[in-house]
Amino acid sequence: MVKILFVCSGNVFRSMCAKYCLEYFLAKNNIKNISVDSAGISVTSKKPQKIALEVKELLFKKGIDVSKHLSKNVSKVDLKSFDLVISMSYNHKKYLIEKYGISSVLFNKVCYGVNYPVYDNNEILKEYKGFRGKIYNIEVVKKIYSDIKFFHKNYKKFI
């Protein structure tokens, strides 16, 4: 059994989408030898972030229900138990190596061989709330969903 962990900041957008999209892909293709999880580097129990409505709705339209998702901090995960740790952005890679000594690979590196992050809307937009933020979120979900087939095709090269 190969264990894969996706890591982002709040565990309610990028890493969460990647986890559920990969699980959906695996189930749809009857692939049983991969276990998937996700976590965030800045998840707190004091004020947990919520999954954006447009993210939930788009994933649900694709057959993926994330309504029971609970975000978790990487500190609650046994990082050394994973065969492959995937960071969604540069700061996640840096955090994992500095705090835990864990090397990770960017999502786009696995999918396409490029060291380029999947940016969060607050990293790329000055004003990420409102319409522009929602449109960006939708595009990122679509990208992750469509990239999963390439992720699955290439992930073994990084283990």
Spatial neighbors of 27 by CB under 8 A, at least 6 apart, are none
Q: How far is CA 109 from the centre of its chain?
A: 14
Return the structure tokens found at 4.
């894969």
Based on the structure, what is the number of domains in the chain?
1
pLDDT at residue 121, rounded to an integer: 73
CATH number at residue 22: 3.40.50.2300
Q: What is the pTM (predicted TM-score) of this model?
A: 0.94
| Boundaries of domain holding 151 | 2-158
Instruction: Indicate the angle between helix axes 14-28 and 53-61, nearest 10 degrees.
Output: 10
Render each residue's pLDDT in the chain as its tens digit; 159 residues: 999 999 999 999 999 999 999 999 999 999 999 999 999 999 877 777 889 999 999 999 999 999 999 999 999 999 999 999 999 999 999 999 999 999 999 999 999 999 999 988 766 655 556 677 788 899 999 999 999 999 999 999 999
Predicted pLDDT at 18 = 98
- Specify the pLDDT at position 148: 98
